[in-house]
Amino acid sequence: MTLTALTTAAANAHHFPIRVYYEDTDAGGIVYYANYLKFAERARTEMLREAGFHHTAMMEGDGIMLAVRRVSADYLRPAKLDDALGVTTSVTGLGAATIDLDQCIRREGQELCRVHVTIACVGRDGRPVRLPTELRAVLSSNMQS
């Protein structure tokens, strides 16, 4: 990736701060592995909220939900009690009913965990439905090239 592409990707990424609390850790003060997925979920939710898409409104108004279809995580270094973390979320792909995202959890610029997630848009019956046009437009404009 060129410097210009990296700058564009960074500009299009969503950044969300998180603090590690006691409840996030094991007995040794290290973040429990599943909690990285919770951090990533919070960041995705806030990215959508800041773009004007609230889960409750989508469910009540449009009858759609966004559900995790697939997730993979690479754990690189441990986060610890009281760490200030940042979660960067980048849209990497859009399908008819899916969104691909890359997320990186960092402490002071150092990568701790990388998460790739595919989100499926589903109706009240749990079956896939097309992404709403407005959501697709917002996500497309922020997609990494």
Catalytic machinery residues = 26
SS3 54: coil
Q: Which residues of 99-133 are buried (b: 16+ CB within 10 A; e: fewer)?
A: bbbbbbbbbeeeebbbbebbbbbbeeeeeebebee
Q: Pull the structure tokens for residue 116.
A: 């790739």
Q: Which helix (H) or strand (E) holds 46?
A: helix 33-50
Query: Helix/strand/coil (H, E, C) string of 57-91?
Result: HHHHHHCEEEEEEEEEEEECCCCECCCEEEEEEEE
